[in-house]
Amino acid sequence: MTKRYLVVYAKCKGSNFSGHAPDVPGCVSVGDTLDEMNTMMREALEFHLEGILEDGNTIPEPTTMSIDLKAEDFEDVDYFLVRQLEVTVPVRKQTGETVRAA
């Protein structure tokens, strides 16, 4: 199964990209380029969601549709990119085993 989560990428001044998914607290990643950031964020989300499920918790639904940025958010950031990222969401079998859906 796949779901589309809103992700926020920040191009840090003089540095790389950082990213997070507002609906999945604690899930962050970094990358040197936007393409790498996209790949790393997808991997981070899929890994994080798998851990949530293995811990017996419910995977958060992607509900955030927009974010509000303030002037102070740009102090160390050149620009932000907000997009939907489709990720593979793991499922729990009736045996309790966690598997990645194809």
Q: What is the DSSP string of 14-77?
A: TS-EEEE-TTSTT-EEEESSHHHHHHHHHHHHHHHHHHHHHTTPPPPP---------GGGGTTE
Predicted confidence (pLDDT) at residue 95 exceeds the cutoff of 80: no
Residues forming a β-bridge with 83: 7
Q: Tell me the per-residue pLDDT of 21-42, one tens digit each, with 9 for 90 and over.
A: 999 999 999 999 999 999 999 9
The pTM for the full model equals 0.86
* CATH tag, 2-92: 3.30.160.250
Domain spans of the chain? 2-92
DSSP label of 89? P
